[in-house]
Structure 1
């Protein structure tokens, strides 16, 4: 007996509305998942994942649906609005993308990025946050770090940090010293790149905030950080712009070897 899925609630977000509409029109046209997949050039399982909200559709897939259903640019416009609107589920979606990632590029000007943090450094960050259940937040971040490195060399990591990150002793000198030792150890791995933007480089585009470019098998998505929460970016044009910004920050950064030397100099201050 086939499994009957309940449709998503289209009121939750534009992504749910898009997935709901895909299923509604497919069933109205009397098409099976397999037949719809033939239209979009996807497997039956992929269509099911799109209609359940587990995966996000792409521009060419929406164009094919509009052509097949005679809906003008309806699905293309729905995709545009979904990408531009606030998504209350964006945090879990980023986690899913990170699990599927083949590369992650990160810039941060205030703290060591989570994946590169020691547990003591993470705890110092959590204590300085506005969260109430600190233990729960710490447990989540710790598990997220562990999952990140379980992928080994199948995940390429490019990290750029501002020198201010090294100068700010989160958790005190002992915690910071251990953090910089950890950073140097990670930087020795062939699939990890750590670079520092020194103070001597002057102004750079990273002053606008942190960012992350998540490379998937078939495309890139991005995350732009902000004081009261960030934003998941899936529009190819916006992702491309953020990638260019990352590269321009990289122009200001020291080489990998010079960056390790800068980290060593700060390590001497803390030990």
Structure 2
């Protein structure tokens, strides 16, 4: 007996609205999952994932559907609005993309990236957060760190940090000393490239907030950080803009060796 899936709630987000309409039009025209997949050039399972909200439609898929259904720009516009609108599930989707990425480029001006944090450093930020589920939040963050390193050479990280991250004492002297020592260990790992933007470099684009670029098998996506959350960016043009921004911030950074030396100088202040 076939499995009958309930449709997603189209009122929850534009992504759910798009997924709901994908299924609506397929069933309206009497297409099977396999037939719809042939139109888009994807497998039956991929279509099922699109309609369940587990994977996201791309531009070529939307164009193919509009051509087949004769819907003008309907699916292309729905995709555009989904990308531009606030997505309440952006955090979950970002974690999923992190697990698929083969290269993660990240800039932080306030906090050491999660994958490079000690548990005490992570805990210090969890404890000052406004979240009520602190134990669950801590467990999820530890699991994300673990998942990154379990992938070993399958994923690289290029991390660029502002010097202010090193200057800010988080969790007390002992915790910060351990974090700086840990950062030096991380910097020696083959899959980690760590560079510091020193104070003396002057003004740079990183003051606008953190950013992350994730290279997936077939495309790149980006995340722009902000107070109380951020925005997941999948539009190719915007992703390219953030990629250029990351490179321009990196142009202000020290070399890998110079970055190790500045970390060591901060570590010496805790001796």
Task: Give TM class, smaller chain.
Answer: over 0.9
Structure 2: give runs of 5+ residues left out of the alignment.
none
Provide Cα deviations, 1:185-209, integer angstroms capped at 9, x if missing partner. 1111111100000011001000000
Aligned position for 1:132: 132
Listed as ranges, the matches of 1:47-196 within 5 Å are: 47-196=47-196
After TM superposition, give the deviation of residue 133 of structure 1 in Å. 3.0
- The 3-state SS of whatever aligns with 1:196 is strand
- Per the alignment, residue 265 of structure 1 pairs with 265
* Contiguous gaps of at least 5 residues in structure 1: none
How high is the TM-score relative to the length of structure 2? 0.98
SS at match of 1:270: coil
**In the aligned structure 1, how far is the partner of 2:214 from the partner of 2:270?**
33
Corresponding position: 1:205 with 2:205: yes
* Distance in structure 1 (CA, Å) of the matches to 2:94 and 2:78: 21
Q: 2:34 matched to which residue of 1?
A: 34
**Residue 161 of structure 1: SS of its match in structure 2?**
strand
SS in 2 for 1:194: strand
- 1: distance between equivalents of 2:58 and 2:223? 18
Cα distance per residue 1:15-58 (max 9 Å; x no partner):
01101111111111111111111111111111111111100010
Equivalent pairs, count: 271
TM-score (norm 1): 0.98
Once residues 228 and 30 of structure 2 are traced to their aligned partners in structure 1, the CA distance between those partners, rounded to angstroms, is 45
Displacement, 1:212? 0.8
